[in-house]
Amino acid sequence: MSADDDATVGTSTRHGEAYYDPYDVDINADPYPNFRRLRDEAPVFHNDRYDFWALSRWQDVEPALTNWQTFSNARSDILDIIKAVSGAGVRLPKGAVLFEDPPEHTMHRGLMSRVFTPRRMEALEDRVRAFCVQILDAFVGERHFDFVADLGNEMPMKVIGMLLGIPESEQPAVRKRSDEILRTRPGEPLRVREDQIADGRMFGDYIDWRAKHPSDDLMTALLNAEFEDERGERRTLTREEVLTYTQVLAGAGNETTGRLIGWLGKVLGEHPDQRRELAADPSLIPAAIEETLRFEPTGPHLARYVARDFECHGRTVPEGSAVLILVGAANRDERHWTDPDRFDIHRDQGRHLTFGFGLHFCLGASLARLEGRVAMEEVLRRFPDWEVEHEGARLAPTSTVRGWDSMPVRLG
């Protein structure tokens, strides 16, 4: 299969072979048939058109996420950025914890762990609930509601804005900026610009103001946290490092939870019996959150740069390659899960890989779970029944995360 041989895009195969293309909008609409073909026929798959490899079986995906010596994050965790760094010489900003391996990653993640403490996250619940109540009460008595436009776009940004000290009037612009950076044209890779990678310049005024007016928010904690850097020097973050951190937090915090809320609206709308169980017994909601994350992961893959040759299933992935670690495929691998294509809030859960695993496990996972749980408690308290209006649902045009721009439902 050559790079010029471009037939049959949008189906599960090209010329009868197992195939995967993260930029194909038809595949992205339902990637699971493709994932199944990859697991069965090409567990180590090479896409000739875009020159990347992909791992799809749980037994290969899980250890790859912990093997940073082979599967490096140092050139990003996004395929398009890895290609731009490797091929076009694009430089990454310093201090982006998502784009690092040890020892730099160990240093910066340790700093973030002291800021993103479980205690700090638990203390947010009342504020998160207040944001949900404010949004949802306006729809009581209405017949229509959009899980993304009305809730998923609004509540996570309010939470991140509160954590970082971003004024509410400026939050829509922050969300729009973060969203635009990840947008792709249908069928095309992401256009990578060096000045847009983890670019936090729009937060400069907030950071400067907060430095002079400390508070108890995350921004103040970032500005004042001391750590020992890679040269053994005791210091605080530079202004540029704080800008980078802030953009990473604002983008990741908004994207992950917003997409999760959209999937909860869709999946629970399509499984009304299980939704009614949650309405009758809210203690089941955390399990439903985990099953939704497994069943429809907000990020279907994580990219890595291959730092040394890798042998698997009789194939060699050569040093210097880009590889997609398909967590969405692993989360539905029948070699690991029983009946994985069935959504079941009572599943003996085990551990899904949606938030990663090992060294780069998502630092914001506890916050995303908190926001998802509180959102569903408040939604189900007001609206125990809804039907998805599929004709109005729109998938977001992005190859890095998977979720909805619009998920409208009819209430009652």
Helices (H) and strands (E) in the chain, counts: 16, 16
Provide the token pair at 244. 């980078």
For residue 410, report the phi and psi dihedrals to the nearest 5 degrees.
-100, 125
Q: Looking at residue 170, what is its pLDDT? A: 78
Alpha-helix residue ranges (DSSP H) falling in 116-170: 118-122, 125-136, 155-164
Instruction: State residue 119's pLDDT score.
Output: 75
Strands 226-228 and 394-395: unpaired
236 is a domain residue:
yes
d(CA 408, CA 61) in angstroms, rounded, equals 34
- Which domain CATH number covers 288? 1.10.630.10
* pLDDT tens per residue, range 67-101: 999 999 999 999 999 999 988 788 888 767 888 89
- Eight-class DSSP state of 304: E
Whether 3 maps to a domain, the answer reads no
DSSP 8-state class, residue 323:
E
Q: How many other CB atoms are there within 10 angstroms of residue 4's CB atom?
A: 7
The answer as to whether 355 is a domain residue is yes
Query: Measured between alpha carbons, how far is 50 from 22 in angstroms, rounded to an integer?
Result: 10
**Mind giving me the DSSP string for 50-62?**
TTEEEE-SHHHHH
> Using CA atoms, how far apart are residues 64 and 235, in angstroms rounded to an integer?
33
Please give the Cα distance from 163 to 171 (Å, whole number). 12
Q: What's the pLDDT tens digit per position in 343-377?
A: 999 998 689 999 999 888 888 888 899 999 999 99
pLDDT, tens only, 183-203: 667 777 878 877 777 777 878
Q: Running DSSP on this structure, what letter comes out for residue 168?
A: G
Q: Quote the mean pLDDT of the chain.
A: 88
pLDDT score at 7:
35
Report the pLDDT value the prediction gives residue 359, as an integer from 0 to 100: 87
Supply 364's token pair: 């914001």
Helix (H, G, I), strand (E, B) or coil at 405: strand
Q: How many Cα atoms within 13 Å fall on the side-chain side of residue 162?
A: 16
pLDDT, position 32: 98
Question: What is the distance between the alpha carbons of residues 181 and 199, in angstroms, rounded to a whole number?
Answer: 10
Report yes or no: 296 and 407 within 8 Å, Cβ to Cβ.
no
Q: Are 270 and 295 in contact (CB under 8 A)?
A: no
Q: Tokens at residue 374, please?
A: 């509180």
Give pLDDT, residue 35: 98
Q: Does residue 204 lie in a domain region?
A: yes
User: Per the domain annotation, does 1 fall within a domain?
Assistant: no
pTM above 0.85, yes or no: yes
CA distance linking residue 66 with residue 368, whole number of Å: 22
- Select from 329, 346, 255 the least CA-distant residue to 294: 329
Quick: pLDDT tens for 241-270: 888 888 777 777 777 899 999 999 999 999
Q: Is 7 within a domain?
A: no
CB 409 within 8 A of CB 389: yes
DSSP for residue 389: -
- Which alpha helices (DSSP H) does 9-102 contain, by range? 25-29, 32-41, 58-66, 79-88
What does the pLDDT read at residue 328?
A: 98
In a domain, 6, yes or no: no
Look up the domain containing 351 and give its range: 13-411
Of 67, 68, 41, nearest to 56 (Cα)?
41
Question: In sequence order, what are the residues at sequence separation of 6 or more whose Cβ sits closer than 8 angstroms to the Cβ of residue 251?
Answer: 178, 181, 182
pLDDT of residue 9: 37
In the chain, how many domains are there? 1
Cβ–Cβ < 8 Å for 77, 302: yes
Residue 5 maps to a domain: no
Q: How far apart are CA 148 and CA 156, in angstroms?
A: 11
Give the dihedral sign, CA 210/214/216/220: positive
Query: What span, in angstroms and rounded, lies between the C-alpha atoms of 374 and 126?
Result: 9
